Structure 1
Amino acid sequence: MVKMVRHRELIALTVQQLDKFNPENQSVDDFLNESAEMLQTLNTTEEKFVLDTLAGCTEYKSLLDVVVNAFYAQDGRYCLISERNVYIVICYLATFQLEELGLQHFSRIVKSLDTAKMQKFLRFFFNKLHLNTWIKDEWSHFYDSLYVKENLIDPLLRWQPKVQLLIEQLTNKLNNLTTTVKASTVTQPKEFNLTVPKPRAIPLPLPMHLPVLEKRRPVPPSTYKPPKEKKQLEEIKEKNLQKANDLLVKANTDRFRCATMKSEKREIDNIPIKLNTAAILREGALYQRKMEEQLKRVENLQQGAGDPSEFLEWQKQMRGKDLEEQLAEIECRRLQGKLSHEEAILARQNVIQENKKKADLLREEKAELMHQHAEKRLQEQKEMKELAEQVMEGHKNVKQVKTKLQEYKQQIAQQVSEESGELLRQALEKEEEKAKKRSEIIQQIRAIESIPGIRHKFVDLTETGGHGLFGEMSIVELRERLALLKEAQKAAEEEKRDQIIHEKQAKEQLLLEKLDQISQFRAELGRAAALKQEEKKRKSQSGERPVKDERILNLQKKIVEKKMERKKQAGLLKITPQKPSIMPSKDSVQWNHWKELEEIRERQFKLLQRGFMAREAAHKRAVCVAARSGTTTYILRSDLK
């Protein structure tokens, strides 16, 4: 019986700590540290049991809530919500600690609590149908289904027959309690000898007036019809989608037709576009600046400026060499990636050998740990026996402590009653004084209200207020000044309106002149672009393929050597060698990796070509500008990159 009481105290202490835990305001580590400080009065075994139970209940809260919530919904509808954490603790011990505690220790914990509640909960939880159906399915939402079956459901099903015996014991205990209570009754009630009352007359039903409901309004037809805005949006969406598809088809068909694209671009440029004021002024300033540059260039040519064609030819050769070097660098990087792949395979084979050695060491360490665990269990059993003996000694002096505690409580209650009487008397005196003051104030207010006041007041609009302020005036004077101020404002507005109209007319005239200049400049630029295009067609550019250098050849040789070494290593380990890194299987990660590398290399090559052409065109423009200014510009090879 002492052990049962001690178990009940430990479970109550655990439930008390769980009731204090709030996951929104406190982390699990802080909660466990505070609980450890509160449990310092217990010995090491009891403290370890309570802390392990608290940590498990917080860690597996989601699994335990599934069972306890279902219990409250079905069999525990009349159980108290305040006792919810008791069922959480029992569910955790039955699910995760039953193997370690053992059935005997677990049954002592259960019997120390309320018999009817534990019998009802265990019968609900250890039901085979519940474990195999909805509990297993709900737990599979949080963990892997295979893990739930092997590590949670199967152990509970193994313990189910033994726990069923415990449930039967609890049921027998409940039956014995009910029979003893019935047998202990001594008094036998007798019926009173009363006169039989006359039957009452059935009252007539009162007339009922049923309420008449108002007629409902018909549903408006707009409820079942889509709005017009929705149809308009769908039509606009379809048109935009059709335009996008047409543009995609056109872009795909004209992807590699540079000449046609340029001609189309010229045609698009000739389409008339409505320009705003800012665009007209901006374009006019641009053409004005270009005209000034052309005039300056003509002056420089007249003064003897040089031709930059030789410099452009040298610059083109240098850029071709740089492009070859960049392509060779990309090829070297690709071969280095293949070489690192072969080295990674060799390293993986070496790791397999090391893992075999480590596995042998782990087996030996596991055997040693099992031996230590067995010794630890024996030591814990000895400590539990010592704990039981200490508890027996601690319960001897309980009665003496209870009597002293009752006497102390009686003294405190007497002192409190005396002090409360004194405080009540003082409060009554203060209330009486406040009531007297209130009555005096009310009398004064009533006397003030009884004095008659002047109700009518005559106002003269020509008199000032007499407040002693500077610039004080009467209401009539104020109205006159406001009228004069309004007339002055109207005159200012008319003048400003005339000024705005004149400025607007001048601005429109300026814009018309700018538009005439822009049209003339566009026509001249179109002719110049056509002449430049004809000159470009006459010239043909030949591209040279990059030549492999010594670095690429050396990397290819190293890759072949690594492949041979890997095959030898695989033969020693008796492992089926993987396919070469050049052509891995399409379902493997390596295939995707090398495919991405090839695509990246192609994109880099295209970007380099585009950048080469763009830099060449930009530099031509820069040289032309330098030639116009009459200065000679020298650009190093490093600047071309």
Structure 2
Amino acid sequence: MGKESGHEHGKGEHGHHHAHGGHGHGHSHHGRHHSHCTGPEDFVPEVKEPGCHPREELREKKKSLDLQWRRSTIKVSPCVHCASQEAHERARRYRAKAKCLAPAELLVCSMKLIESYRKKREPGQTPNVYADIWLPLYNVVHPYDIQTMKQILFGCVRYERLLRIFLDRMYEQISTLTFDDEMKYTVLAYLAFLRLHELSWPQYRRLVMSQPPGRMLPFMRFIFNERELIDHVQASWCAVYDIEFVRDILESIRFFSSEAQEVCEALEERVYAPDPLGRYVQPPTVPKPFKMSVSKTVCPNFEEWAPPEPFEARPAPMFEKGRTLEVKRLSAVFKENRQILKKKYDDPKHQPFRLRCVERPTNIEQLRTEVEEKFIQDHHYIPAEINPAPAMPTVEVKLNVATLLREHALFQKQMDQDKKKIEAFELELRDDSDFKLWQEEQRMQDEVADAINIEFNRKKVMATDQAAIEAKEKYLAEKMEIGRGAREEAKISHLTIQQESKNEKFRKKLKHFLVVQDKRGIKIARENVAKARKANALEVQAESEELCAKSTLQKAQEMAMKQELVRQLRALEKESCHMEKKFDIYSSSGQGLLQEMSIAQLRTELVLVKRWLQHEEDIKRRKIHAVKIERQNMLLERSRVVTQMRHIARAQWLSKKAHEKFYDKTEINPAEQLGL
């Protein structure tokens, strides 16, 4: 973009200079301006283009044009110079529609889009709607780029928890990563876990290689290492997502592990390999310990620790007694005003008006009562009459086998429950005086136990308070003892540090002496090692030649044996072609087995087995028929019992209904008896 804008700017300057320099036709046809507004370096107040009118004349010329030009979608300025600039701008935008973003630009735009969505989105706004609004502001016009960034935004929002777990574990394991690249790692992790098959590995490699290799190398090593993901990330993922979903993610990572290894090797070459142009590359930072100098001051004596003094709050300020002079003067003025008002309204001239209409007799209260009664009568709620329940049908419903069994089971259960109630009632008819006596004794024991428990808790609280006081005193004494011990340890550590510094100097001198001695014997040792390697190489070469000869001889022997076997097999095949087999149904195979028999004997045995199976089938049929008859008799008996129970229940219901009707008719109405 920088080169293109610079090129266009150069053309604009050339055209502007050409227009001012030589042509007298009005405006420039050779130059093109990249902006509608001229810069300070292009502004020449003394010279004006003949085709470019002042602002007032241009406004008047636009108003004089026809109405169709003002309603048109594409405006063409009446100024020829401005019209050429507008045409150039439209052509530049049209060419930009077919331009795709570079991998680095695509990644940067995706990061900006996700960050702005998290900070500026409105409540309830979906990622696709937000992307449609904000992508034109980031100069993303190609349809492929728009679709890719929409999918990245939607995926990072939907799988935010999955990506957050991965980033947390990665930052825990790799301490060299910075949080400035967190959004970049989020986008690349989403593409690697869920979109790598659709994106294809070459496109993903372009995105990775467009970033600094020092920041991408630890990320690629961790994300495409299946063992690291299983040890540190899989358990947290399984706590949130389905285990099959997690396995699919790990399977996709395993599928691209070989390609990822190649990318890691390429990144390592770019990070650790020397610069081919011979430029200086800053070495990596190596942590070094601080050079701590030994203090020569005497260890200070710590003062004895003393508990702080208790805090005492200041007393509240005393209020002044009596009212102030200003309040007293205001009170006097208020009192005088009240007296003046009282004298004024005591005068008969200032009494309220006397109305004759109020003193005349009226029947307003009676009319109000009548209107209210009429309103209540008109608006009285009359409840709806309830229709009587319809009569029960007399036709009995035909029952199937399942319904009959269920109803019989219910009747049998009800009879069993009634029987148990009667037996329990007979067993519980006894005197309860023993139970009440036992209950009273237990109540007395509970009261005694409660009193003992209360006394025990009171003494326990007192003992706990005393123990807390003693523990506090003991803690203060231990703290003072620890302070004394710390001072003693500080003195001892000071002496120890001095002794260790002396020992370290002695060790360094000894190490230097040993290194100097070792350097003298390095040349002799190298010559001995070279001789030993040369002798070992000759031995290995002789052994390899001997093994090669043996293997060649063994292969020749094996080949001769195989050829002999092939000749024997071909001779056997020729002999087998002329042999004819005869089969006898009355003869057996002659293998010496226990169940060995001929074909004729086997057919006879099969006929006997079929007869025996037919006999077994007849026996089973007779048994099934007997079971069906028994079940039918059982159902008839149960249907008789159910019918009898229904008749009894209907008779009970009819008697209850008749009893209720009798009492409803004999109910006495007091109002009718008194004649009201």
The TM tier, using the shorter chain, reads: 0.3 to 0.5
Quick check: which has more Rg, 1 or 2?
Answer: 2
Name whichever structure is richer in helix by fraction. Answer: 1
> Structure with the greater relative contact order (CA < 8 A, sep ≥ 6): 1 or 2?
1
